[in-house]
């Protein structure tokens, strides 16, 4: 199934701008190392914006991308939330994370972003309730405008999951993709073929 997401709200970058932070995190989760294409994207990201920002991954020629696993992660989150909705298709799906990991595949690995306008920077406060009381910090992210889009293919090994994917995409139209979804960032419309 071929999918096109057209963002109706701006989308925020999610990769750390500091290459060393990304490398250490990935190595902690994947002891076998970092794939060459991931390492290349991190190297080019380092020059993109200040290290304290979250940014978009980039191809070797500077094009913005999302990774395939970001779409899978979105599907897992959407399914998890839809399991709370009585009568949803997701409610019937047992061990949904394992099912999505093993039966749903996204192509290409690097999903090009068709950017409308130029990349902007969004700075915003972050609040957290901690044992020491409320804490505040600033977050800084690259942001692309509404109207930008991505296209990718979904390969489903269990045809019964097709309707669930539509349910997850419908949820994404409300929830969004990427950072700061609570504030409506990353919402999208989609076309499915």
Number of structural domains in the chain: 1
pLDDT of residue 24: 57
Q: How many CB atoms lie within 10 A of CB 140?
A: 17
Report pLDDT for 164. Answer: 94
Tell me phi and psi for residue 139, to 5 degrees.
-115, 145
Entry pTM? 0.79
Contact 183, 12 (CB under 8 A): no
Collapsed DSSP state (helix, strand, coil) of residue 117:
coil
* Residues forming a β-bridge with 104: 156
Torsion-angle region of residue 180: left (phi > 0), alpha (psi -120 to 50) or beta?
A: left
Q: What is the pLDDT of residue 139?
A: 80
Question: What separation in angstroms does the CA of 70 have from each of 44, 108, 118, 124, 167?
Answer: 19, 12, 22, 23, 18
The confidence score (pLDDT) of residue 7 equals: 97
Quote the domain boundaries for residue 80.
2-192
Q: Is the dihedral of CA 144, 56, 180, 101 positive or negative?
A: positive
pLDDT value of residue 138: 75
pLDDT (0 to 100) of residue 105:
97
What was the pLDDT predicted at 30?
Answer: 61
Beta bridge partners of 64: 58
One pLDDT digit (tens) per residue for the chain, 193 residues: 999 999 999 999 988 776 665 555 555 666 566 676 666 665 444 443 355 688 899 998 999 999 999 999 999 999 999 999 999 999 998 999 999 999 999 999 999 999 999 999 998 887 778 888 888 777 889 999 999 999 999 999 999 899 999 999 999 999 999 988 888 999 999 999 8
- How high is the pLDDT of residue 39? 63
Judge whether 3 and 66 are in contact, CB under 8 Å.
Answer: no
Residue 30 Cα distances to 12, 22, 24, 136, 137, angstroms: 25, 12, 10, 31, 29
């Amino acid at each position: 199934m071929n999918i096109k997401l057209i963002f109706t709200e701006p989308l925020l970058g999610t990769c750390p701008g500091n290459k060393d932070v990304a490398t250490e995190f990935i190595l902690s989760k994947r002891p076998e190392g970092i794939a060459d294409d991931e390492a290349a994207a991190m190297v080019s990201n380092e020059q993109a914006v200040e290290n304290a920002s979250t940014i978009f991954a980039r191809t070797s020629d500077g094009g913005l991308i999302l990774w395939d696993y970001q779409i899978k992660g979105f599907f897992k989150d959407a399914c998890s939330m839809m399991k709370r909705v009585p009568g949803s298709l997701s409610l019937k799906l047992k061990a949904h994370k394992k099912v999505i990991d093993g039966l749903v595949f996204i192509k290409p690995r690097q999903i090009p972003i068709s950017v409308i306008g130029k990349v902007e920077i969004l700075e915003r406060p972050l609040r957290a309730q901690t044992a020491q009381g409320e804490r505040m910090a600033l977050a800084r992210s690259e942001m692309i405008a509404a109207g930008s889009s991505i296209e990718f293919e979904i390969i489903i090994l269990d045809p019964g999951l097709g309707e669930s994917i539509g349910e997850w995409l419908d949820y994404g139209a409300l929830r969004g993709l990427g950072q700061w979804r609570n504030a409506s960032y990353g919402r999208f419309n989609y076309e499915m073929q």
